[in-house]
Amino acid sequence: MKKFLTTIFLYALLLPLVAQTTDNVKLANEYFNRREYEKARTLYEDLARDFSKIPLIHNNYFFLLTTTGEYKEAEKYLDRIIKRFPGQVEFRIDLGRVYIAEGKEGTADSYFNNLIDEIKTNSFLVRQAANYFNSNLLPKYAERTFLESRKSVNNTAIYSLELANFYRVNGEPGKMVNEYLTYLDSNPGNARYVKNILQSLMQDNSELESLEAVLYNKIQEKPDNLVYPDLLIWAQLQLKNFYGAFVQARALDIRTGQEGIRTLEIGMIALNNQDFNSAARAFNWIIETYPSKPVYIQAKIHLIEAYEMRVKNTFPISKEEVRKVIEDYDLFLNEVGIDRSTLQAMRNKAILHAFYLDELDTAISILSQIIEIPRVNKEIQAQSKLDLGDIYLLSGQPWESTLLYSQVEKDLKESPIAYEAKLKNAKLSYYRGDFLLAQEHLDIIKKATTREIANDAMALSILIKENIALDSTEAAMKAYAHIDLLLYQNKTEEGLQEIEQFKKSFQSHSLEDDILYLQSGIYLKEAKFNESITLLEKIIESHGFDVLGDDAMFTLAEIYELHLNQPDKAQEIYLEFLTKYPGSVYVAEARKRYRRIRGDFQEEPLN
C-alpha cells in the first residue's frame, strides 16, 4: 500500500511537468506556423533534449536549422538523434540533405550511396528510404535505392509496382510501362489489374502510344509470352486502332485455339465504334477460317451489319445498295433458317424495308412475325415492338406507336429496353408539342438508365428547357419539333420548306444553330457537301462554343475525310478540333482519325 501511494505521489509531481512540455510543443509549433522563427527555435532547442519529443518537433526544427543556415547545429542535432534512433532512415537521409544545403554534393552523394548499400537487403527500409528520397525531391536516389536492392537480391521483378509509380510521378512513361510489364511477367494472372491501373493512369494518347511501341518490342523478344499480345490488343482498343487489335486477336485465336472468339469480340467493338472496314475484316476472316464452328453464324450476320452500316453512311444512300444488303440477309436466312440466332437479321431487314425503301407493309409483316413466334426471347420481342412503333410513327400513326412503346415499358419494367421505350414516348410528346409531359418522361430517364439513353434524354431535355424558358408561347420550339418529326418521317422537301419559314419567322432565336445543324444534315444525306459545309462553318463561326459547336466541327472534318477525299484538310480540322474541344465526346474518335490520316495505322486492303 505504501509503494502504491508513493507511485501516486510521484505521478502527481510529474504530471505538471508533462503537461508543461506538451504545452511547449504546441507553443513552439504555433510560433513556427506564425513564422516567429526565433521564438520557435528557442523552444525547439530545449525540447530536442528530450528524445521522446523528437517525432513531434523534428520536421519544423530541421527546417528552421537548414533555412537559417545553421548547418553545423543541424549536423550535431542529427548525429545525436541518429545514434539514439539508428533504424530511423529518414533522419539519416536528412543528414545528407544538410550536406547538399552546404554545397557538399560529392559528400552527400557518397553518404547516400553508403546508406543505400547498407540497407539494400532490407525491403522495409528500402521502401521507406525510397519514398523519403522522392518526397524530398531526390528522385535519383529513390530510383537508385530500388535498383540497387533489386540487384542485391537478384530479383528483377521486386519493387516493380513501386518503380512503376515512381516513374509515373516523375514523368517517365516509357520506364513506367516497362515496370508494369516486369510485374506482369511474374504475375500473368493479374493482367486485368494492370489494365485497370494503366487505364486510370494513361489519360494521354502519347503514353498509350509509348506502351504500344514497348509491347511490339516485347512480343519480338518473347514471342511465346501471350501476356504481351493480349495487353497490346487492350492498348490498341484504347487508341481506337481496331485494325491493329484485329491483327493481334487473329494471331492469338490461332495460337490459343479459341476459334475466332477473340476476333469476333474485336469485330463487334469496331462495329459499335463505326469502323466498318476493320469490323468487316474481322468477320470475313472468321467466316473463311471457321465455317463449321458456332462463331460462324454470329460473324456472318455481323458482316452483313458492317456492310449495312457502311451503306447507310455513304451519301447519298443508294437504294440499289440497300437492296443488295437485303438480299444478303435473305441468303443468310435461307442458309441458316429462322431461329433465335437469326431473329436479329430479320429485324435489321425489316428496318431497311421501312426506313430506306418506304416498304412499310413488308416491314410490318416481318416484325409481326417475330413478335408472334411462340416462346420468342422477350428482349428481341420487345425490340421488335419498338421497331414496329417507329414504323407506325413513320406512317403518321403516333397513337399506335405510343401503344406499343407503353406495352414494352409495362412488360419489362426498369430494364434498358423499358427506358428506351420511355424515351420514345417522351419524343412522341415532344413531336406533339407537349413539352411538359415530355420533360416529365425525360427527368425519369436521366436518373436510371444506360449511359447512351441517358445522354439522349439529357440532350433533348436541355433542348426543351433552353428554348422555352423565354418563350411563353413555345411557338418556335413547336415549329422546330414539327420539323424534326418531318425529317424523321423522311419528308425531306417539306422539312426544308419549313426550315426556311422558321428562319423568317424566328430570326436570331436561340434555336438558330439547331436549325442550321438540321439543315446541314439534310444536305449531307443528299450529298450536297458544299452546302452542308457552309452551314457547319456558320455554326462554328457564330455558335462555336454553344452545345453544337463540337458536333459541327467534327462533322465538317468527316465530310472532308469521308466524302470529299481531302485527307489533308480533314487532318487540319481534326487537329484544330482537339485543341478547341478537349472535353468533347468526340475527342477519342477525332484523335484516332487524325492518327489514321497521318499514317500511324498500316492496314491491309479490304476486299
On the question of pLDDT at 146 being above 90, the answer is yes
- One-letter amino acid of 588: A
Full DSSP string of 469-522: TT-TT-HHHHHHHHHHHHHHTT-HHHHHHHHHHHHHHSTT-TTHHHHHHHHHHH
**Average pLDDT of the residues in 169-186:** 86
pLDDT category at 86 given cuts 50, 70, 90 is confident
pLDDT tens for 292-302 read: 998 999 999 99
Distance CA 347, CA 370 (A): 8
* Cα dist from 456 to 109, 275, 289, 392, 451, whole Å: 61, 22, 39, 21, 9
Q: Which three cell numbers stand for residue 553?
A: 466541327
pLDDT category at 575 given cuts 50, 70, 90 is very high
Distance CA 138, CA 127 (A): 14
Burial 446-474 (b: 16+ CB within 10 A, else e): beebeeebbebbeebbebbeebbeeeeeb
Q: Which comes out higher in pLDDT, residue 41 or 371?
A: 371
pLDDT category at 367 given cuts 50, 70, 90 is very high
Look at residue 601 and give its three-state secondary structure: coil
> What is the percentage of the chain residues whose pLDDT exceeds 70?
95
Q: Choose from 150-159, 336-345, 565-574 the range with maximum mean pLDDT.
A: 565-574
pLDDT category at 603 given cuts 50, 70, 90 is low
pLDDT category at 12 given cuts 50, 70, 90 is very low
pLDDT tens for 235-293 read: 999 888 999 999 999 999 999 999 999 999 999 999 998 899 999 999 999 999 999 99
Specify whether the CB–CB gap between 354 and 394 falls below 8 A.
yes
Look at residue 428 and give its three-state secondary structure: helix
**Cβ-proximal residues to 483 (8 Å cutoff; 6+ apart), any chain:** 495, 498, 499, 502, 515, 518
**Cβ-proximal residues to 24 (8 Å cutoff; 6+ apart), any chain:** 43, 46, 47
For cell 429462322, the residue is: 338
Q: Which of 47, 41, 48 is nearest to 77 (CA)?
A: 48
Domain spans, the chain:
413-510, 514-607
**Average pLDDT of the residues in 39-49:** 80
- One-letter amino acid of 270: A
Least confident of 40-54, 230-244, 309-323, 364-378: 40-54
Q: Which comes out higher in pLDDT, residue 440 or 24?
A: 440
pLDDT category at 13 given cuts 50, 70, 90 is very low
Q: Would you say domain 514-607 falls under CATH 3.40.50.300? A: no
Full DSSP string of 310-371: HHHTSSSPPHHHHHHHHHHHHHHHHHH-SSGGGHHHHHHHHHHHHHTT--HHHHHHHHHHHH
Which own/partner pairs from 297-302 qualify as long-range (CB within 8 Å, at least 24 positions apart)?
Answer: 297/336, 297/341, 297/342, 298/264, 298/341, 299/260, 299/264, 299/267, 300/332, 300/336, 301/332, 301/341, 301/342, 301/344, 301/345, 302/264, 302/267, 302/268, 302/271
Q: Which comes out higher in pLDDT, residue 170 or 602?
A: 170
Q: Which three cell numbers stand for residue 547?
A: 452545345
Phi/psi at 71 (nearest 5 deg)? Answer: -70, -40
**Cβ-proximal residues to 126 (8 Å cutoff; 6+ apart), any chain:** 119, 120, 145, 146, 149, 159
- Helices 227-238, 191-201: crossing angle, 10 deg rounding: 30
The C-alpha angle 266, 268, 269, rounded to 5 degrees, equals 65
Q: Which of 522, 576, 509, 588 is nearest to 549 (CA)?
A: 576
pLDDT category at 601 given cuts 50, 70, 90 is confident
On the question of pLDDT at 579 being above 50, the answer is yes
pLDDT category at 446 given cuts 50, 70, 90 is confident
Q: Which three cell numbers stand for residue 250?
A: 487473329
Specify whether the CB–CB gap between 310 and 343 falls below 8 A.
no
Looking at residue 17, what is its pLDDT?
40
Distance CA 138, CA 135 (A): 7
Burial 9-30 (b: 16+ CB within 10 A, else e): eeeeeeeeeeeebeebbeebbe
**Average pLDDT of the residues in 200-213:** 79
Distance CA 348, CA 335 (A): 17
Look at residue 290 and give its three-state secondary structure: coil
pLDDT tens for 370-424 read: 999 988 999 999 999 999 999 999 999 999 999 999 999 999 988 999 999 999 9
On the question of pLDDT at 3 being above 70, the answer is no
Looking at residue 31, what is its pLDDT?
76
Mean pLDDT for all residues in the chain? 89
Q: Which of 199, 177, 188, 267 is nearest to 224 (CA)?
A: 188
